[in-house]
Structure formats: C-alpha cells, structure tokens
Structure 1
Amino acid sequence: MTTGQHVLVAVSGGPDSTALLSLVAALATSWNLKLTAVHFNYGLRGAESEGDEAFVSELCRAQGISLIVQHHTLKKRPGASSLQELAREFRYDALARLRVEYGADRILTAHTANDQAETVLLWLLRGSGLTGLAGMPFSRDGFIIRPMLAVTRQHVMEYLARNRLTYRRDSSNKSDRYRRNRVRSEVLPLMEKIVPAVVPLLQRQAALLREDEAYLEQVVRRLYGSFVSIDAAGRQRLRRRECAALPIAIQRRLIRLMLRKVEAKGLASSFRVVEAVRRFCLTRKQGAITALRDGHVSCDREYLWLSKGPAGSGSSRTTKVNSHEAVAVSIPSTVYWPGTDQEIHVQVLPRETALPLLKTRPGHLAVFDADRMSEPLMLRGWRNGDCFHPIGMGGKRKKVQDLFTDMKIARPERSAIPLLTAPEGILWVVGRREDERFRVHDGTSRCLVVTVSAGTAQEGVR
C-alpha cells in the first residue's frame, strides 16, 4: 500500500474485521486514504445476519466511512463444496468486481495468524504439497492485502478490549459441520497445550515455505518458456521425452502450470488431475485422448498436447451435457463431467489395497472387479432404453429411467447424471447405483476404483 490510495475493506462485523477497520481508519488521515467498507449478507442466519449488517452500518456511519452491502443467496451446486467455501468464492469474485467498479486500488481482508494456522493444518489433513503448506500469502493477485496475517487472535482481542470496541459473533463458527471450525475449536487448542506458541510457529513455517514455493515457481516458469510452445490454435505442446527427463516434482509443477492456463479461472487442478496428466504424458500411446474440466489432453508420438474446450471443438468449455455424448476414460485418468461439475477419477488397484474402501463404501466412490470388464470405458449421459442390474435386486434387470423415477430425480436433471460404461454394460449410474455383475467377489484380484469429487478448484494442488 502507498499513500493516497482508495482501499476497500471487507468487514463482517466480527472481531478481526472490526479491528482491521479501526486500524485503517486511524491511518486514513496521515496516509491520505479513501476508505470504503464492504459487507456481505448471505441471509444464512436469519435475524443474526440482519443484525450483523445493522452493526456494520452503524460502525461505518459513526466513523464516516462509506459502506457497500452485497446481498446474495448461496445455492449449493451438485458436487460442490460447503456453503462456507461457496461464500468465500463469491466474496473474492465480488470484491474483485467492486474494485474495478469503484476504481479502488487495494482490497484489505482481516485474516490473522490463527486463520493462517488453520489453513495450513487443513491443507496438511488433505495430504497437500508445498503450495498448500505455504498457506495464504500477505498479498494476492497484486491488489488483495492481508495486513494482519502475522497478528494472533489474542492480540486482536487485546486491541479491541483496550480500545473498548464492540463486535459481533457468528454462531455458525461454533458448528462442528465445518472442518475448519473443528480445527479451530479442537485441534489447535490441543496443539497449544503441547506447544503454546503453535500459532506463530505455523505462521512462520508458512512464511518460510512461501519463499521456497516462490523460487520453485520461478524455476518452473522459466522451464515453461523453454519446454512448452503454443501453436496458432492456442494449443500447448510439451515434448514427452523432455518431460520424462525432469525430476518428478518439476514434472508435476510444469503440468500444473499448463493446466492453469487451460482452466477457466486459472486455478490449480487437483493432485489427481495433475498426476493423471503426468502419467498420461509418460505412458499413453500415440493417439490417446482424455477430457479435462475445461479442455482436453492428447498425445502423439513426440508431444503432449493440452487444449481448451472439448476434443474436436474450438469452444472454451463444455457447458451443456448431451445425453448421447460419450467421453473415453483411460485407466488411470481423471475426467471432468460438466453436467454435475464433477471430476471422476479411475484407477486399478490390487485387491488388498482397495479392500478398506469396500468396507466403507461412501456414495462418492465405487469399486468393481477389473477383470469382469474390458476397455474402452466410457462416460456418457443416460439414453432411452438403458438397462442395468442394480446391486441389491438379486441380479434382476432394471431400466435406468425407472431408477431415476424411484429416486425422484426430475426429468431435466437426468441427462446431467453420468453413466460409467464398459462394452459389457453399465458399471455405475454415478453416485446412485452400481451394477451387480461387476461387483468385487472372493476371487477378485484387481479392483477398478472410481472416485467422484467436486470439479471446482477448491481442492487444488497445493
């Protein structure tokens, strides 16, 4: 930040953002800052949400600060993440739009060292790489600033008490439905009993790892300029032999950077997608092709090609699912299905590795006997006349249309639901019901494991 700038301050009314607004307001005169507060009301907590808005309005009125209030109803998308994550996505998108609309120079958010510690632990629990463990940066995209990222929540509360500032409490922060809340209320307090300074230590670790991350990103961007070329159609081309000669860690980073340039918002793809494309590059035969969220990847003898839009199309993204459209699924690979905004990951594992998955059988995962089917596997929409043998019906045949009716799935939604098929028949009405004929039995030695996850970039390679 420099003097004379117009600054947007995200203010929820909670202790952190109330402290941030107070601090920036105290600097406004000497720094010649123009301040505008932004408050988001999603209406999720009824009267409590309205109370937050009224509190922020009065807080800004008392200090003579302009206020923008954004009302928005969050709608859970099929396969999408939690409402907390949806709110976060909307908030950042709206702040970026408002910055342009109001001609602001910077956006300030009130993330603290405790938020950083929670973020690092959450990425750790996801099996994250270096990028995730580096946490949130002090600045993002050149205009989003987190000035309190090295300040603990204890210091924030002391500041509020010293200056006799009131604030609001968000009751949803106490809910154990959200993983971040449980890390905040259960994991961090336990760690603090062992290491009292765990929050500043995690914040410092993130800062050190960000420096390593920044250096590796510089290295990979230089390699991208040397190893990746772009043709007149905008397709990225990587020589397969040169990729194979790189260390695996650099291979992944280089492919992740290529995928960022295909992804609509420039966000990181999941580890599964990056790894699937890396293996695709090193092992696929000439002419192989597979679909991605916002593009597709193909191989010839010499190059890996990464293109925007579906195979054979110049469009930037598949936006509508055609019930007669089919996508080939390589093993292993990850395919993006736009109808439900999901990534579908397919791999073959030994029985002993897949056995624990058979015991839990969550709805987003299915396991089949890999030797009871042949390739190619296909992912497609439902077609009139489709039949299969659902598990639990004693081998009886059932129309997919009747399954949809029994499950009360509306007709307009049916064509969006993917079916995983083999030449022998339908393996899985994805997320709904598996076929009895392909289930794992005592003699199974190899398992086809299919996992479904949200197609949004919230679980990026970090």
Structure 2
Amino acid sequence: MLNLLRGSGLEGLKGFLPIREGRIIRPLIEVSAQEIISFLEQSGMAYCRDSSNESSQYLRNQIRAELIPFLKGKYNPRIEENLAQMAEILRREDDFIRQHAAAAAKKTMQQKKAGSVALNIHAVKKIPEAIRWRLLKMLLEDLTPSGDGISFLHVNAVNDLTQKNASGKKITLPAGIEARREYDQLILEKKRTRPKKNQYAYVMSVPGTVHVKERGLTIKATLVKKIKTDLSRMKNTACLDWSKIAPPLVVRNRRDGDWIQPLGMRGRQKIKKYFIDHKIPVAQRDDLLLLVDRLSVVYIEHRHISDRVKISPATKSVLKLAITPDRPVGKGSKPPG
C-alpha cells in the first residue's frame, strides 16, 4: 500500500518476497502480526514490540493504523487479503518482464566496462516499451552505488533520448550518471572526475622518426620519388606531396580552430565539423593524431589527407609516413576513429 501511494511500478507493488536472492528468507511474511501475537500469547512466550511501530510520524504506521482500517470498514473487509493476492500476481508478471529485459540487454549491448554501457540505439527502439523501460531502469540502477535514486522521471528522460534523433544530446542523472546519444549508440556512464586530457606536440624532422608516447605509436617520415604501391592498400601509411608542405611539420592532437582543406574541395573545413560529419565519437576526438604544417592540418590519422598536399602527376618528391603501433592492434581493438 505504501508503494502504491508513492506511484511505484511492478517492482514496488509486488511487495516483500518470501525468498530474495536465494539467501534471504522471510518465513513469516505471509502471516499477519495478530496471528503471530496470538500464537506467542497462547504459548506463553515472551516477546517485545518495536516502539517505532506505534509512532504516527511514520507514513507506514499511518497507513496501518488509519488507512487500512478505514478501507476495511468502508469498502472491503478483506482488503489485506486482496492486496496480498495482487502482490502475488504482480510478482509473476514482474519476473516475466525482468527475464525479457535481461535478454534484451544481451541483444542490444555493444560494449560494457566498469561504469559504462553502450547500447545499439536501433535495437533499443525495437524493444516493446514495457521491456525497454525495465531495461533502462535496470542499467541505470546498476550504475548507482546502492541501486537507489533512479525514479520514473529519470527513466522517462532516458527513454525519450532513445526515441529522438538527437546525436550529441546528453542528460545528467543522480549519482553522477550521464546518458547521451552518440550517433548509433546510447551510452550510460558513471562520470568520474578526470584530469584534463593532455595535449601533445612533436616536431617532425624529414627524414626522421617520432615516438608519440601518449598514443603508443611511432611515425617514420621518409622522402621517396615515386609510389609504386596502390595507396588504398597501404595500411597505416600516408603519402603527401613534399613540395606543397610548409614546414615545420608537427605531430599533435587537435587544437581549437584547427582546419583542413578536404580532398576535392577548394574551401576549408574546421576539424571539429569534420569529426561531427564523420561521426567520430566525442571520447575519441582528442586521441586522433594530426599532422600539421605552418598553414593547416595536412593529415588526419587513418582518415584524410588535405587536398592542398595531395599527390598529383606533377609530384616530384613524396613524403611517406609510416605509423607503427608499439604493439599490434589485436582483435576487438582499433585505432581511434
């Protein structure tokens, strides 16, 4: 009854379970207080009362002493039995939804790590609403210290986030939880106070080698006259027209105001907009390596070469960049972006 007044869902309305988590057993949960007291008195066994159960300052006691007697006398003398029966029905229905929510988690989850889960947004949208709500509530509670603090309003807000095409939108929830849309993913994450990501910069000598310790990789720059291999098949390699580069060359991560001249275009594009257009997750943008000359960005790691420095039939000297990870990229991992 208390949870009904609070507007609880099935989990609250099903009441206390006789057995919970396979280890907590309440053998007298279905026996009334009056039945227990009568048995003790008939058996001559001493017992004590919890004085807090007599205080009217607690809502639970007001319900027990005022509301239940009123409902019994005015509407239904078997109200307590009927509420217990309703709780039993709701337990079965709650078990059904919980099992389907757990199955939905396996189908929709793309990544799970400490304090964070990523779900495929298209798969989430296809889940029946009741199951989707329980799935979101379950995942949010898993991210809270005690599983408490997540209300109807919070689950409703995250559910709305799944139904709208709003990449980049995020909401802040209790216990430091953040829910956000990143393109085809819904990410639920326990935010931690983190130091600001380090900016790095290394001057690139040509020919020469630079080790980027922040990324755990080495870049080797050499000058060659011709490229005989199909560039599209050269992994971790980029080739630029050396004569069109304005030294010095610097290897670094992004800075405010960075721009590049996209291939096939005369104009410029801000690196921030490039990342957005190519759906590069926000968390990966500060990790991507850039090669920058005196004028602009000329190369984005594994992705793009500036039109200004592209190789043409007139190219006489080619700057060849070979990127080598400190350790091979294994299955299940990939470079940023």
Smaller-chain TM-score range? 0.5 to 0.7
- Whether 1:304 and 2:186 are equivalent positions in the alignment is yes
Distance 1:161 1:140 in 2: 30
C-alpha spacing 1:231/1:286, structure 2 compared with 1 (3 Å)? same
In structure 2, what residue type is equivalent to 1:152?
S
Map 1:380-399 onto structure 2 (within 5 A).
none
The alpha carbon displacement at 1:252 in A equals 0.8
From the CA coordinates, give the structure whose radius of gyration is larger.
2
Do structure 1's residue 253 and structure 2's residue 134 form an aligned pair? yes
One-letter amino acid matched to 1:307: E
- For 2:138 and 2:165, locate their aligned partners in 1 and report how far apart those are by CA, in whole Å: 20
How many angstroms does 1:267 deviate by?
Answer: 4.2
Structure 1 residue 306, shift from structure 2 partner:
0.9
CA contact (8 A) 1:262 1:294 kept: no
SS of 1:296's equivalent?
A: strand
Q: Distance in 1 between matches of 2:168 and 2:50?
A: 54
Q: Is the 8 A contact 2:110 2:120 kept in 1?
A: no
Give the match for residue 160 of structure 2: 279
Q: How many residues of Structure 1 are paired with residues of Structure 2 in the alignment?
A: 194
Q: In 2, distance between residues paired with 1:309 and 1:298?
A: 12
- Residue 178 of structure 1 deviates from its aligned partner by 1.1
The aligned counterpart of 1:163 is: 43
Q: Tell me how far apart the structure 1 counterparts of residues 100 and 52 of structure 2 sit (CA, whole Å).
A: 42
User: Which AA in structure 2 matches 1:151?
Assistant: V
Structure 1: gaps spanning 5 or more residues: 1-120, 315-462
Structure-2 residue corresponding to 1:77? none
Match of 1:453 in 2: none
Q: Distance in 2 between matches of 1:284 and 1:179?
A: 43
Larger mean CA deviation between 228-237 and 201-210 belongs to: 228-237
Q: Specify whether residues 245 and 311 from structure 1 end up closer, same or farther in structure 2 by C-alpha distance, changes over 3 A only.
A: farther
- Report the CA distance shift for 1:136/1:200 in structure 2 as closer, same or farther (over 3 A): same
Deviation, 1:312, is 5.9
Aligned residues of 2:104 and 2:127 also touching (Cα < 8 A): no
Residue equivalent to 2:280: none
More helix, by proportion: 1
Look up the match of 2:27.
147
Of all paired residues, the percent bearing the same amino acid is 30
Task: State the Cα distance separating 1:192 from its structure 2 match.
Answer: 2.1
* Code of the aligned partner of 1:123: N
1:130–1:213 CA contact under 8 A, matched in 2: yes
Residue-by-residue CA offset, 1:191-229 (whole Å, 9 max, x unaligned): 222322222221122112101111111111011111112
Between the aligned partners of 2:112 and 2:10, the Cα distance in structure 1 is: 32
**Secondary structure at 1:236 match in 2:** strand
DSSP 3-state at the match of 1:255: helix
Who is 1:53 aligned against?
none
Displacement of 1:156 in angstroms is 0.9
Q: Is the contact between residue 296 and residue 307 of structure 1 (CA under 8 Å) also seen in structure 2? A: yes
Code of the residue aligned with 2:32 in structure 1: it is: T
Q: 1:159 to 1:233 in 2, by over 3 A?
A: closer
User: What are the within-5 Å matches in structure 2 for residues 83-162 of structure 1?
Assistant: 121-162=1-42
Q: Secondary structure at the match of 2:132?
A: helix
What stretches of structure 1 move > 4 A for 4+ residues in a row? 231-234, 311-314
Compute the TM-score of the two structures, normalised by the length of structure 1: 0.39
Name the counterpart of 2:225: none
Q: Of residues 94, 114, 123 in structure 2, which corresponds to 1:242?
A: 123
User: Partners of 2:52 and 2:149 in 1: how far apart?
Assistant: 28
SS in 2 for 1:264: coil
Say yes or no: does 1:180 pair with 2:72.
no
Is 2:158–2:179's contact at 8 Å kept on the other side of the alignment?
yes
CA distance in 2, matches of 1:280, 1:169: 49
Kindly provide the CA deviation profile for residues 371-402 of structure 1, in whole angstroms up to 9, marking residues without a partner as x: xxxxxxxxxxxxxxxxxxxxxxxxxxxxxxxx
